[in-house]
């Protein structure tokens, strides 16, 4: 570490924050990680208040979330199906006239709830940068080429065992303005629904062994090392196909359903 | 109700939606749970602001609600709207000044005597995980007074979850992610 951690001092806001060095950011990240390890209290979700991610400074609630017992509407989730999503939307490489440039990959896995039950017939949405690290988005001004054959957007409905499979192009890392010389590790954004609305989540999937993990204040918003590794896919040669695409496995676990166990409970009482 | 059983698996962590969801998450008629101008329709709208009160121009909101009778739709078709089926789900990206608009209906109570509300999730760049809240309708003051969640909050906090009814029938609901009048955000059982 080439600079001491900042400990308690509020970092400068955008755009001045873009002048901070990676060493300064890494110092902040390591300091928070050391404090977390010393505290000995397990955290498995990202911190809302994570100063190294500068955009979070004015956008995180300061009050603890208020406990709610879910009511009927929250115990159900919207229904999606074949009317909503065509099966070909899971292939991001066939949306245009030509072949996209880059490393063709398959990302496949299962969506489960916190009880290990498959989440069936539910919507998964995905979006990502292209093989040069550029998003199809008007606010992305990174001077890397757009690929006219790659939009980087896919959707699928999970199968009877909660399974999904996307064919896409491996995204590249890209720079952003959190601090000077800031780079995001390559990632794919995933959006998921469960059986209950309370299970709604959006997250990011990463690739194994990325050298940018330790430097990235978004990946590091999850302060527990084991918890953040849950976002890293596994290379899986059984998903890789001969002369076609390499394969990655990534299973996603949603929070626990509050409807299914109550239904089971009610059934047990009837017996 | 017995105690909820412990989870068998640890849930995958969330992450910020980031800034670049524009081609992925918004879709045609995403915020129109029924057609604008439909005799049943109302407008639900408001601003999303940060801890300085400045508009957040890249937030994404979702709502999930019952219909006027309190029935919960099990219909598919939220992503490809046929113009007639009420699916109960909508999504809206805020505009450049942090304002959002949904076209929907006033939800009825899902159980008799309960205060009707719309469930909402909030996503934004800079927000590291989704937030949940409820948008209560302001009219049934007796049901609001009996609502266990609202009863557990002091008056000022409670008010952040109750929409305002405007003269034209619209519901106004502002979201403040941080600060004095910070919106109440919710946690539920079995999150970890």
pLDDT digits (tens, 9 = 90+) for B107-153: 999 999 999 999 999 999 999 999 999 999 999 999 999 999 999 99
Look up the ipTM and state it: 0.97
Give B29-40 as a DSSP string: TTTBSS-TT-TT
pLDDT digits (tens, 9 = 90+) for A78-103: 999 999 999 999 999 999 999 999 99
State chain A's mean pLDDT as an integer: 92
**CATH no. for residue A243?**
2.60.130.10
Q: Is residue A4 one of the residues assigned to a domain?
A: no
Label residue A141 by pLDDT band (50, 70, 90). Answer: confident
Residues 6 or more apart in contact with residue A54 via CB below 8 angstroms: A11, A13, A14, A17, A178, A179, A217
The answer to whether the CB of A192 falls within 8 A of the CB of A116 is: no
User: How far apart are the CA of A242 and the nearest CA of chain B, in angstroms?
Assistant: 30
Q: Is residue A263 one of the residues assigned to a domain?
A: yes
Query: Looking up tokens 């999937």, which residue turns up?
Result: A205
Q: Which two tokens stand for residue A32?
A: 């928070």
Q: What CA–CA distances, in Å, run from A124 to A158, B38, B58, B156?
A: 7, 31, 21, 38
Are A73 and B119 inside 8 Å of each other by CB? yes
Which residue of B13, B58, B179 is in closest CB contact with A227? Answer: B13
Residues paired with A154 in a beta bridge: A126
Q: Among residues A50, A53, A54, A135, which one is catalytic? A: A135
Is A135 one of the annotated active-site residues of the chain?
yes
pTM assigned to the model: 0.94
pLDDT digits (tens, 9 = 90+) for A6-34: 433 444 445 556 799 999 999 999 999 99
Is A180 one of the annotated active-site residues of the chain?
no
Q: Which residues of B touch A151 (CB under 8 A)?
A: 23
The ranges of chain B with pLDDT < 50 are: 1
Q: Is residue A224 one of the residues assigned to a domain?
A: yes
* Gyration radius of chain B over CA positions: 17
Strands A104-112 and A252-253: parallel
Are A230 and B78 inside 8 Å of each other by CB? no
Q: What CA–CA distances, in Å, run from B130 to A202, A203, A205, B15, B127?
A: 7, 9, 16, 8, 7
* Cα atoms in the Cβ-side hemisphere of radius 13 Å centred on A140: 22
What is the pLDDT at residue A7?
A: 37
Q: Which residues of B touch A73 (CB under 8 A)?
A: 64-66, 72, 107, 110, 117, 119
Ordered structural domains, chain B, with CATH: 42-176 (2.60.130.10)
What is the pLDDT at residue A214?
A: 98
Q: Is residue A72 one of the residues assigned to a domain?
A: no
Domain span at residue A156 reads 22-59+81-270
Which of A59, A158, A174 to probe by mutation at the B interface, max B CB count within 10 Å? A59
Q: Is residue A238 one of the residues assigned to a domain?
A: yes
Count of domains forming chain A: 1
Q: Is residue A1 one of the residues assigned to a domain?
A: no
Query: Looking up tokens 């002369």, which residue turns up?
Result: A243
What is the pLDDT at residue A17?
A: 61
The answer to whether the CB of B4 falls within 8 A of the CB of A257 is: no
The answer to whether the CB of A26 falls within 8 A of the CB of A179 is: no
Q: Is residue A70 one of the residues assigned to a domain?
A: no
Q: Is residue A3 one of the residues assigned to a domain?
A: no
What is the pLDDT at residue A139?
A: 78
Which residue of B20, B134, B177 is in closest CB contact with A140? Answer: B20
Are A46 and B148 inside 8 Å of each other by CB? no
């Amino acid at each position: 570490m080439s600079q001491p951690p900042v400990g308690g001092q509020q970092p400068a806001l955008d755009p001045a924050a873009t002048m901070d060095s990676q060493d300064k950011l890494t110092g902040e990240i390591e300091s928070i990680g050391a404090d977390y390890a010393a505290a000995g209290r397990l955290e498995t979700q990202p911190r809302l208040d994570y100063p190294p991610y500068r955009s979070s400074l004015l956008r995180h609630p300061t009050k603890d979330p208020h406990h709610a017992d879910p009511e009927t509407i929250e115990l159900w989730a919207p229904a999606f199906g074949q009317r909503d999503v065509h099966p070909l939307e899971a292939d991001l490489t066939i949306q245009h006239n030509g072949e996209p440039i880059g490393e063709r990959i398959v990302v496949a896995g299962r969506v489960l709830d916190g009880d290990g039950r498959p989440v069936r017939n539910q919507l998964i949405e995905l979006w990502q940068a292209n093989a040069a690290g550029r998003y199809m988005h008007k606010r992305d001004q990174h001077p890397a080429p757009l690929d006219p054959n790659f939009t980087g957007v896919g959707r699928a409905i999970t199968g009877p065992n909660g399974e999904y499979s996307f064919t896409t192009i491996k995204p590249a890392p890209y720079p952003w303005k959190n601090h000077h010389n800031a780079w995001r590790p390559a990632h794919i954004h995933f959006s998921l629904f469960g059986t209950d609305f309370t299970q709604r989540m959006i997250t990011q999937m990463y690739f194994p062994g990325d050298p940018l993990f330790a430097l990235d204040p978004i990946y590091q918003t999850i302060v527990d090392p084991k918890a953040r590794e849950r976002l890293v896919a596994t290379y899986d040669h059984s998903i890789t196909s001969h002369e076609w695409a390499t394969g990655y496995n990534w299973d996603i676990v949603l929070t626990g359903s509050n409807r299914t166990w109550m239904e089971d409970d009610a059934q047990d009482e009837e017996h | 109700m017995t105690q909820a059983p412990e989870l068998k698996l640890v849930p995958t962590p969330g992450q910020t939606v980031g800034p670049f969801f524009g081609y992925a998450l918004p879709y045609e008629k995403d915020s129109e749970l029924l057609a604008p101008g439909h005799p049943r329709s109302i407008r639900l709208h408001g601003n999303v602001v940060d801890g300085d009160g400045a508009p957040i121009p890249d937030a994404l909101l979702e709502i999930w609600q019952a219909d006027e009778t309190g029935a919960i739709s099990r219909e598919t078709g939220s992503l490809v709207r046929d113009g007639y089926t009420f699916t109960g789900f909508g999504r809206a990206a805020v505009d450049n000044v942090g304002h959002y608009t949904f076209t929907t209906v006033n939800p009825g109570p899902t159980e008799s005597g309960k205060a009707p509300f719309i469930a909402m999730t909030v996503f934004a760049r800079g927000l590291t995980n989704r937030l949940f809240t409820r948008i209560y309708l302001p009219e049934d003051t007796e049901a609001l007074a009996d609502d266990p969640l609202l009863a557990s909050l002091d008056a000022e906090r409670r008010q952040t979850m109750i929409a305002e009814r405007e003269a034209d029938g619209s519901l106004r609901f502002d979201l403040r992610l941080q600060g004095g009048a910070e919106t109440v955000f919710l946690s539920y059982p079995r999150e970890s």
